[in-house]
Amino acid sequence: MDPVTPARLSLNTATVREQWNLRECIEGCARHGIGGISPWRDKLAECGVDEAARLIADHGLTVTGLCRGGLFPAADAAGRQAALDDNRRALDEALALGARCLILVAGGLPEGSKDIADARAQVRDGIAALLDHARPAGMPLAIEPLHPMYAAGRACVNTLKQANDLCDALGQGVGVAVDVYHVWWDPELEYEILRAGKDRLLAFHVCDWLEPTRDMLLDRGMMGDGVVDIPRIRGWMEAAGYHGFAEVEIFSAETWWKKPADEVLATCVERLSFV
């Protein structure tokens, strides 16, 4: 496999969201030799899109993705339109940053609904509508399946197979983001990564699944601290044609968010052997 060097590592700003603003994240990446960054939109809004684009360019970083668009399902037409409008704004922000893709987290059940099939249909229709804006602009949309525990509240797209099926239905301009935290358990993962192939594999997010996990959202592990065989999954990604960045995205309220951010980034670099 290709060696993972700090230059092929990307920092998702969620990893140090409690310690640093976006300017500090950018400067920290440069200080630790990390070659990529993936901002969350709240940090981007605080900094300002134009200023963020300037800082990222000045420090020679690659924007591996913008987090996040999606959240399409809503209880009524007005809600669905509001979601689409916000996704168009997110897409314009991704374009301004020169991001490699816009990450899409599908969204869950609308309030009061128990109809997950309808929610998934709304996701398909929402992405289709967003593609009308994304295709002419040349911004790829990366569907990120989330672990099934999030099906009701955050994402009703829960397997890479579902994401690939959406890509088949929607056509050019849409691909997938593979986050090991969400898909490591899937017995069809290798097949679905190969099915996605080079053109659809837009992002690769890494962290670790701790056993036991104390909080299903805010207790992700640093690479090497849990049960996920990340190098094996990366091998599948590379066999399918992906040779891009490994993006570290760790939500960790009780551990990594409480450590000095420079220590967190240094540990990310030290743990490259587990990627």
Question: What is the tens place of the pLDDT at every residue in 150-170?
Answer: 999 999 999 999 999 999 999
Instruction: For the chain, state the CA radius of gyration.
Output: 17
**Beta carbons within 8 Å of 237's beta carbon, 6+ residues apart:** 178, 193, 201, 204
The stretches of 49-110 forming alpha helices (DSSP H) are 49-58, 77-97
Report, as an integer, the average pLDDT of 175-181. 99
Tens of pLDDT, residues 108-135: 999 999 999 999 999 999 999 999 999 9
The answer to whether residue 275 is domain-embedded is no
The CATH number covering residue 131 comes to: 3.20.20.150
Pairing label, strands 246-248, 201-206? parallel
Provide the 3-class DSSP secondary structure of residue 117: helix
The answer to whether residue 106 is domain-embedded is yes
The answer to whether residue 261 is domain-embedded is yes
The answer to whether residue 244 is domain-embedded is yes
| pLDDT on residue 231 | 98
The answer to whether residue 57 is domain-embedded is yes
| pLDDT on residue 50 | 98
The stretches of the chain forming alpha helices (DSSP H) are 22-32, 41-47, 49-58, 77-97, 116-137, 160-170, 180-183, 189-200, 230-239, 261-270
| pLDDT on residue 3 | 85
The pTM of this model reads: 0.98
Task: Report the distance separating Cα 234 and Cα 207, nearest Å.
Answer: 12
| pLDDT on residue 242 | 98
Report, as an integer, the average pLDDT of 37-61. 98
Is the pLDDT confidence value at 11 over 90? yes
Tens of pLDDT, residues 201-259: 999 999 999 999 999 999 999 999 999 999 999 999 999 999 999 999 999 999 999 99
The answer to whether residue 252 is domain-embedded is yes
Is the pLDDT confidence value at 8 over 90? yes
Domain of residue 19 covers: 6-270
The answer to whether residue 115 is domain-embedded is yes
| pLDDT on residue 2 | 84
Contact status, residue 94 vs residue 128, Cβ threshold 8 Å:
no
The answer to whether residue 1 is domain-embedded is no
Report, as an integer, the average pLDDT of 173-185. 98
Q: How many domains does the chain have?
A: 1
Summary mean pLDDT of the chain: 98
Is the pLDDT confidence value at 143 over 90? yes
